[in-house]
Structure 1
Amino acid sequence: MARILPMAASYSLQLAGLRPPSPFSAAVRLASNARLGLHSAPFRRLALSHLGSAMHHGQLFGIKPSKLIRKASGIEASAAGNMTTQASTTVSQEEALEWVKKDKRRLLHVVYRVGDLDKTIKFYTECLGMKLLRKRDIPEERYTNAFLGYGPEDSHFVVELTYNYGVDKYDIGTGFGHFGIAVEDVAKTVDLIKAKGGKVTREPSSLKGGKTLVASIEDPDGYKFELLERGPTPEPFCQLMLRVGDLDRAINFYEKAFGMELLHKQDNPEDKYTIAMMGYGPEDKNAVLELMYNYGVKEYDKGNAYAQIAIGTDDVYKTAEAIKLYGGKITREPGPLPGINTKITACLDPDGWKTVFVDNIDFAKELE
């Protein structure tokens, strides 16, 4: 059986753990985990012993050392002896949240695997109107990938397709939902897809409680696409839907750790699901993340087809610390990648969905 490789951007194989992660500051890790809330004299000794780490952690977000000293020295043990205040972490959370909101973030691309690259490219360009932006073959690693979208990668959310030599089928699983594509005429697009032999799973119809025309289709690998009838938009590739087991937890994480905005939330009790739209700008002008919670369903099978999204950031180090502080799991410590020096960090959200953050300046250099 052919070996199934993970997604393959210029940094994809390294993210999958096929190359050792770069070392990261032990002091920063210690600072983000250290608990300063112990009792009376032992507490004060421990607080002072970790003060250097706390300062390092705080300085990452621009906190003055004197502020941390005042925080640490002002904590007193409670009479009950059960106080566990985390001075440096509390300050860091505040500073991290403030920084995350100011960070210049944008959805860059979504990565997933396909069994026949040429067939998929043909479908996306002829049926969905995408353009092939670039394509590259890496024979020594036995994979090819292609980037497609509705505009340049430096300003649009695009698709990164990965074909691994000899692997013609993947399991999409039950956690991935669909991609959303905004089109000006849903019925005309559906007719074109039918003429090209595409699979239509929902004929054009209005959304429940609304006037927007929608239709559903599947690409050659079985990935679902929802066609949404809209007027002209700068970002036709407009949605990525993933299912989560705890919607409130997911919203909180994406707001605080990723700096996304809750654009709107809609409960559908008759169909037993709730959705939340998260993103970095209005839905009619930007790609957004649609999170879906199905009543009573806590876990999903993620399969091996869908890989991850990539998001741009001004600082992967600060991003990683914010993710840790708000419950995410870092799977690739921040730092430059060997060979190309692009700085990245990778993480899992509370539901196990993977995201890679890429340094904005380094990403721009890659595109050059």
Structure 2
Amino acid sequence: MKPSPVRSLHWVFKVADRSAMVGFLRDVLLMEPLRHEEFTEGCAASCNGPYDGMWSKTMIGYGEEDTHWVLELTYNYGVKSYDLGNDYQAITITSDRVYDNVVAKGLGTPLPSSSGPRPPLALTAPGGYGFVVAPGPVPLGGGAPCPVTDIALAVSDLDRSLAFWSGFLGFAAEHPSPSEARLSAGPGQCGLVLRQLPAGESLERGTAFGRIAFACPGEQLQPLEAAVRAAGYAVHTPYVSLDTPGKATVQVVILQDPDGHEICFVGEAGFRDLSRRDSSAPRLLAEAMAGDGSGAWWAQRQEREARMAALGV
């Protein structure tokens, strides 16, 4: 089953320190909140992970979700840490403006394989999530192309993964090296890079594992689910309708690739309605962060860690 057309949408990060992550994405990578939603109980499709309590969703990026690949930050109230695995590798952003901002702040480390006066820079966001920022003439915002060019995930068997992503789902594939492949849902879209883990290293998802999302025509979701089952692949969440208070209802099917990477397919029409930019998003996010008490908790933790470090503990 090859859903068509497919549009690449976003990657989901679970964040423990919401204020720190938002501050990094806004002040270092120059992203902006596009919409913010609060929920009183866990998601039926485990969009916030295997948690049942209050949580929030913040979409943040460089432009409208109709035309830009963005990030989804899920924040579970009361959860203060997640264990990182080796599944997520990095997201690459190609923009002179972002690059210059990273350099001006004295951040980033040149990639080992890079050279020249403006090498791509690796940096780490709060929570341990990796990013790569490269120079490039892509402007930010408006109708400009999206500067988020790739997301890289680790896989345990590249050939097996390509059989699923390209052979079964129909993503176009480039194979620049024996240990890496780049998949695309279409021209100008954020690419998915699959990287073979070194021999002897197993894939670990930890508790911080994310999820990649795509849109396709809604009428294709149930046939896609049936085809996945018939082919012997895994369905994480069967076809379900998800409600967002005051906004559109979206139909969803969530698959798993051979390594357990979660792949969310949503109905295009409903998602376009849901994902309209909300001008009140920055205010709603700021109010939520100010009201949940986490800022004080993290400040106390940092103070305690500083005292312990001074004592050599």
Provide the TM-score with structure 1 as the length reference.
Answer: 0.63
Deviation, structure 1 residue 361: 1.0
Deviations, residues 325-358 of structure 1 (Å, cap 9, x unaligned) = 4442012222434686421111110111111110
Partner of 1:189: 101
1:244 matches 2:155: yes
Among all aligned residue pairs of Structure 1 and Structure 2, give the percentage whose two residues are the same amino acid: 27
Other structure's SS at 1:213 match: coil
Q: Distance in 1 between matches of 2:21 and 2:101?
A: 17
Deviations, residues 42-69 of structure 1 (Å, cap 9, x unaligned) = xxxxxxxxxxxxxxxxxxxxxxxxxxxx
Structure in which a larger fraction of residues adopt helix: 1
Cα contact 1:181–1:226 (8 A) shared by 2: yes
Partner of 1:157: 69
Segment of structure 1 superposing worse, 304-313 or 230-239: 230-239
Cα contact 1:206–1:213 (8 A) shared by 2: no
- 5 Å-filtered alignment, 1:123-134, equals 123-134=24-35
From 310, 318, 324, the equivalent of 2:223 is: 318
Cα contact 1:257–1:322 (8 A) shared by 2: no
- 5 Å-filtered alignment, 1:124-273, equals 124-139=25-40, 141-184=53-96, 188-194=100-106, 200=108, 202-203=109-110, 207=114, 213-232=119-138, 234-267=145-178
1:364 matches 2:275: no
Change in CA separation of 1:211 and 1:247 when aligned onto 2, cut-off 3 Å: farther
Deviation, structure 1 residue 277: 0.6
Change in CA separation of 1:192 and 1:344 when aligned onto 2, cut-off 3 Å: same
**Runs in 1 of length 4+ with deviation above 6 angstroms?**
none
Q: Distance in 2 between matches of 1:337 and 1:185?
A: 37
Other structure's SS at 1:134 match: strand
Cα contact 1:205–1:214 (8 A) shared by 2: no
Q: Distance in 1 between matches of 2:274 and 2:135?
A: 34
Other structure's SS at 2:204 match: coil
1:115 matches 2:16: yes
| Count of residue correspondences | 255
Q: Distance in 1 between matches of 2:117 and 2:230?
A: 42
Partner of 1:80: none
Other structure's SS at 2:102 match: helix
Deviation, structure 1 residue 223: 0.4
Partner of 1:105: 6
Amino acid across the alignment from 1:123: F
Deviation, structure 1 residue 241: 0.9
Amino acid across the alignment from 1:257: F
Deviation, structure 1 residue 211: 9.6
Root-mean-square deviation (CA, aligned residues, Å) is 2.5
Partner of 2:186: 281
From 200, 206, 214, the equivalent of 1:303 is: 206
Deviations, residues 121-149 of structure 1 (Å, cap 9, x unaligned) = 12111110111101122245411221101
Change in CA separation of 1:107 and 1:187 when aligned onto 2, cut-off 3 Å: closer
Other structure's SS at 2:186 match: coil
Q: Distance in 1 between matches of 2:237 and 2:93?
A: 31
1:346 matches 2:247: no
> Which consecutive residues of structure 2, in runs of 5 or more, have no partner in the other structure?
42-52, 139-143, 277-313
Other structure's SS at 2:210 match: strand
Larger Rg: 1
From 355, 358, 366, the equivalent of 2:263 is: 355
- 5 Å-filtered alignment, 1:2-151, equals 96-97=1-2, 100=3, 103-139=4-40, 141-151=53-63
Amino acid across the alignment from 2:226: E
Partner of 1:21: none
Partner of 1:8: none
Deviations, residues 98-119 of structure 1 (Å, cap 9, x unaligned) = xx3xx11011111111112122
> Which consecutive residues of structure 1, in runs of 5 or more, have no partner in the other structure?
1-95, 268-273
